Amino acid sequence: MTIEVLRLGHRRKRDERLTTHVCLVARAFGAERVIVAEEDKDLERTINDVVKRFGGKFEIKTGVGWRPYMRDFKGTRVHLTMYGLPLKETIGKIPDGNVLVIVGSEKVPGEVYRMADFNIAVGNQPHSEAGALAVFLDRFTGGAWENNTFEGGEIEVIPTAHGKGVKKR
C-alpha cells in the first residue's frame, strides 16, 4: 500500500506556507509522496531539505497536471472536502491498496468531485487542509504513522520532557 497526496490550487504567493505544511503533514503521517499541480522549485527545495536533514523516504513533484494524474492513478482516489460524507461513516469503506488523497486550496473544480472515488469530510465547517489531512491520515493508518522511522537524515530528534533533544548522525 502506498499513500500519495495531490495538492490542487497552490498559489505561490498566497499558499506557500500552507502547501509546505500539507507536505510536512503528509511526510510525518505516512504518505510516500506529494504531487503539487503547480510548479514551485522553491517548495521542492524546502521539502527535499527537510528529508535530507530529518531522513526518511519521501518525494515531492511539482508542475504535474492534476487531471491526468488523478485519471491514471492506480488505486483509490479520496478527496478531502468539507462538502463530503462524514469521515467516520466512510473511512472503513476505503479498500486496501494504493490511495491518492486530494486536497485543494482555492475553489476545487467539480470534475475533482466526480473523479474521486470518495469525497470525505473531516468536519463540515471551513478548516485547514493540513489539519484535515492529518486527521484523515491518522484515522486511515490507525495511528501507524507514530511508529514510522526516518532513517538516513543528518539529525535525529530525541524526545525529551524539556528542551530540544537532537543527535547528529
- Residue range 24-62, pLDDT digits in tens: 999 999 999 999 999 999 999 999 999 999 999 999 999
Res. 107 pLDDT band, cuts 50 70 90: confident
Q: What is the pLDDT of residue 14?
A: 60
Beta bridge partners of 76: 99
Res. 17 pLDDT band, cuts 50 70 90: confident
Q: What is the pLDDT of residue 28?
A: 97
Q: What is the pLDDT of residue 11?
A: 62
Element (H, E) at 81: strand 76-86
- Residue range 63-81, pLDDT digits in tens: 999 999 999 999 999 999 9
Per-residue pLDDT averaged across 134-153, rounded? 95
Distances from the Cα of 46 to the Cα of 25, 42, 77, angstroms: 14, 6, 27
Domains, the chain, ordered by start: 3-168 (3.40.1280.10)
Res. 13 pLDDT band, cuts 50 70 90: low
Residue 92 has pLDDT above 80, yes or no: yes
Average pLDDT over all residues of the chain = 94
Smallest CA-to-CA distance from 7 within 115, 111, 79, 83 is with 79
Q: What is the pLDDT of residue 169?
A: 86
Terminal-to-terminal C-alpha distance of the chain: 29
How far apart (Å, rounded) are the C-alpha atoms in residues 108 and 82? Answer: 11
Entry pTM: 0.94
